[in-house]
Amino acid sequence: MITRDSVHNNRQVVSAFLTGTHSGDFDVIDRTVAERIVTRGFPGGNPTNREEYKQWFRTFQAGFSDMVFETPAMVADDDHVAVRWRVTVSHTGPFAGVEPTGSRVSFEGMAFYGLENGLIVETSLYIDELSLLRQLGAIPMSAA
């Protein structure tokens, strides 16, 4: 049975996770993510535990700075939270084999979180990588 409290708690856990990880507070992962996690769709490899999850965010933030992270939509139920997000960053470090361009880029995506006992146990990430890589010059814009 879906309860208002569980939905509210799931939203709070995911909100804390997103706020922390996108502002450089990777210790938030210890408070919001289960030790063993199932992940899908992470560029560069899918984390399977908290430390790998932290390292993924460190690597991302090594390539990008001056992050603005927005969540235009969040929907939750008793076991899941879905988030549509938008990121705007400066490309100040290597990323996906692309040397820093200094460009300001913006891309969108969605993440679906599964929760158990107040912790994130599953993350499916969908990034508009084509848009990101085009903005970085790694993929040429089509002539169409």
Q: What is the pLDDT of residues 18-76, one digit of tens each?
A: 999 999 999 999 999 999 999 999 988 999 999 999 999 999 999 999 999 999 999 99
Query: Does 142 reside within a domain?
Result: no
Query: Does 143 reside within a domain?
Result: no
Q: What is the pTM of this model?
A: 0.89
Query: Does 141 reside within a domain?
Result: no
Domain hosting residue 122, numbered range: 4-135
Determine which helix (DSSP H) or strand (DSSP E) holds 95, and give its type and residue range: none
What percentage of residues in the chain have a pLDDT greater than 90?
A: 83
Nearest CA to 47 out of 140, 120, 131, 123 is that of 123
Of the two residues 139 and 86, the one the predictor is more confident about is 86
Question: What CATH code is carried by the domain that includes residue 72?
Answer: 3.10.450.50
Query: Does 140 reside within a domain?
Result: no
What total of structural domains would you count in the chain?
1
